[in-house]
A and B are shown apart, each in its own frame.
Chain A
Amino acid sequence: MSDDAPVETIESVSGTGIPVRGNDIDTDQIIPARFMKVVTFDGLGEFAFFDQRFTGEDEPKDHPFNEERFQEANVLVVNANFGCGSSREHAPQALQRWGIDAIVGESFAEIFAGNCLALGIPTVTASTEEIGALQAYVEENPDAEIEIDVERELVTYGSGDEEKAVNADVASAQHKALVEGVWDTTALMKANETAVRETANSLPYMESDD
């Protein structure tokens, strides 16, 4: 057995931002189901928010992901309950492959946030007001750098007198996982094989099934 799971710490992410506004943006919007008829995640990036970005005739619609000025962005700024709905990891996979390295929002659906963590994408939360201000800032300053400091739970943007440092929340397990580089759990859990077997054997329903 090889044990070469990547160990990488993600203490901070910096880059330019892209706002996608609206509460309850579900994973069917992030990646419509018809693009999931694939056996790998390769190539999903171009389908991120596809139905929000294109009409039925494939004409581009107004959407931040279509805007030239946001094409280099890697920090997505969203509102409440982002990623609700299905468990499809295709959603964060599509965002990551489009270029997103971190997401800042008011709140995230649980399975979505877990999927992001598995890919090393921090999902950082801040208040409605702070998110609104950050979205407005990004809108005005698409080329300005934003820093998501996962370790110190801070989002900083703006420069000089205008510099803002927003207190953000990173869920404790996510914090530990990213900062200490233990977000890839396979090898970690594989190492406990004996303990797993003991737990399994203690369960009444694990008696032989035949």
Chain B
Amino acid sequence: MSEGTLYDKVWDRHAVTELPTGQTQLFVGLHLIHEVTSPQAFGMLKERDLEVAYPERTHATVDHIVPTADQSRPYGDDSAEEMMRELEENVREAGIEFDSPDTGDQGIVHVIGPEQGITQPGMTIVCGDSHTSTHGAFGALAFGIGTSQIRDVLATGTVAMEKQKVRKIQVTGELGPGVTAKDIVLTIIRRLGTEGGVGYVYEYAGEAIESLGMEGRMSICNMSIEGGARAGYVNPDETTYEWLAETDAFEDDPERFDRLKPYWELVRSDEDAEYDDVVTIDGSEIEPTVTWGTTPGQGIGISEPIPKPEELPADKQDTARRAQEHMRVSPGETMAGYGIDVAFLGSCTNARLPDLRAAAEIVRGREVDPDVRGLVVPGSQRVQQAAEEEGLADVFREAGFEWRNAGCSMCLGMNEDQLEGDQASASSSNRNFVGRQGSKDGRTVLMSPEMVAAAAITGEVTDVRELEEVVSA
């Protein structure tokens, strides 16, 4: 059993009581909701004549179905319009703050919480979305829940949970050029497996993690769930506090910041904390990493050969064979040179300002391959606006990218942004599952925003470190 970790401390402070099931009833400090997983929960509440217990601890946005081109109402897609109206009615009735697109604050739920400072260290944060783990980057205990649990949280401000084990993942050393947070997390999932984290919360530590900005930490925590861990976190530090000080929550209220900081410091894992497991990964050995298959665990360094299924552990062979067939890749080859049709720069993993800046640096002065459709979908309206003010939008547009409005977009293809037929996509998102990007025959290669930018230019999966040579060759 872990002891003295941030997880233990936050858990203990939010534990209300033990339930007859042996689960703990845990107070929820922040409940984020969106249009896809909440309407049924509000429906269940109405059926039982219950009200939202803590509307002031609840915050709503619209992201999954929102169109990223024409956002005039009613939306072109009737079912999207219906979901939007349902959300609007539910938040109005309950008195829940809602960042609708006309506020300028709308965006992907895991982008807006951190940027407004409503995501804070030492909080419990839940949302009906598995990528809620993102908020762990701030030292919060954050995890995704299902709709029946959303009902519980709406009705009671609490959720029933079993305590999990804690695995510390130390990423040591310094990252090489062209290597990003995304490459770290793809490497972690590859090493520990897509179900290696089941039953665990991941604590990310080590100098390669600590030297990352908040956005990089968010990219890593975001994909905890792809490794099976429902939550992942980084202990809060000066980087965290600097971010928070500039958010809406604290910029005009430095006293509040000063009052809360001791709590944030207090919940940090103790130096002598005990973990259920510790894993060390040498960050200096990681290279730009991409997926070759149809699970996020099927990743390789850009210069490494795609594995032979028969050389993988027995329980991975079948999945690997099916994945290679779907992706049309052969063992022994590298992924470099894999032709792509779409370059998608977006999602709650990698659509924040530094992601767009880094990708724009690659794109600047170059052109998207004529056979590639390039899309940039900022994570939020604020990111979009900042990127426009900085001139990044122009860089992307001039290169031939579509510059779109904020939302989940082609990460999961619930709006009009979808792959068609067997198109291959270089994607900065988090899931390469079959059908994930809207076409059952579509092929997704996960990678960092920089690598997406490089692939957009060359029309194939490209080692961003070699882009200069490739383009001039």
Q: Which residues of A contact B (CB under 8 A)?
A: 1-2, 4-5, 22-24, 26, 28-29, 32-34, 36-41, 51, 56, 80-81, 84-90, 92-93, 107, 109-111, 114-115, 118-119, 128, 171-173, 176-177, 180, 182-183, 185-186, 188-190, 192-193, 195-196, 199-200, 202-207, 209
Contact = CB atoms under 8 A, between A and B. Distances in A.
15 contacts: A26-B433, A28-B433, A51-B434, A56-B440, A87-B37, A110-B198, A110-B199, A111-B225, A180-B20, A186-B48, A189-B25, A196-B27, A196-B53, A199-B16, A200-B27
Interface stretch (B156-164, B178-186, B269-277, B364-372): B156-164
A24 B319 CA distance: 8
Contact of B123 (A110, A192, A202, A205): A205
A199 B19 contact: no
A204 B149 contact: no
A118 B434 contact: no
Interface string B403-425: 00000000011100000010000
Most chain-B Cβ atoms within 10 A of its Cβ — which of A23, A40, A206?
Answer: A23
Contacts of B123: 205
Contacts of A5: 48
Contacts of B226: 85
A186 B152 contact: yes
B435 A115 contact: no
B76 interface: no
A86 B223 CA distance: 11
B147 interface: yes
Contacts of A56: 421, 440-441
Contacts of B413: 33-34
Nearest to A3: B48
B82 A39 contact: yes
Contacts of A90: 147
A28 B434 contact: yes
A107 B196 CA distance: 11
A87 B441 CA distance: 23
B436 interface: yes
Contacts of A111: 130, 144-146, 225, 230
A114 B145 contact: yes
Interface string B422-462: 00000000010111101011000000000000000000000
Interface in B8-64: 13-17, 19-23, 25, 27, 29, 36-37, 39-40, 43, 48-50, 53-54, 56, 64
B48 A29 contact: no
B21 A173 contact: yes
Interface in B251-271: 256, 259-260, 263
Contacts of A171: 162
B416 to A, nearest CB: 11
B466 to A, nearest CB: 32
Contacts of A22: 318-319, 322
Contact of B260 (A2, A4, A205): A205
Nearest to B261: A204
Given A38-B79, A39-B39, A40-B43, A87 B129 contact: yes
Nearest to A197: B157
Most chain-A Cβ atoms within 10 A of its Cβ — which of B162, B295, B433?
Answer: B433
A89 B146 contact: yes
A205 B436 contact: no
B228 interface: yes
A182 B20 contact: yes
A88 B36 CA distance: 9
B315 interface: yes
Nearest to A202: B13
A85 B429 CA distance: 13
B83 interface: yes
A88 B37 contact: yes
Contacts of B228: 81, 84, 109-110
B174 interface: no
Contacts of A24: 194-195, 295, 297, 319
A131 to B, nearest CB: 11
Contacts of B318: 22-23
Contact of B194 (A4, A81, A192, A207): A81
A174 B209 CA distance: 36
B122 A36 contact: no
A164 B25 CA distance: 39
B86 interface: yes
A190 B260 contact: no
A173 B151 contact: no
B454 to A, nearest CB: 27
B435 A114 contact: no
A89 B29 CA distance: 22
Nearest to B421: A56
Contact of B433 (A29, A89, A172, A209): A29
B155 A190 contact: yes
A193 B21 CA distance: 18
B221 interface: no
Interface in B124-177: 128-130, 132, 144-149, 151-152, 155-158, 160, 162
A37 B79 contact: yes
B120 interface: yes
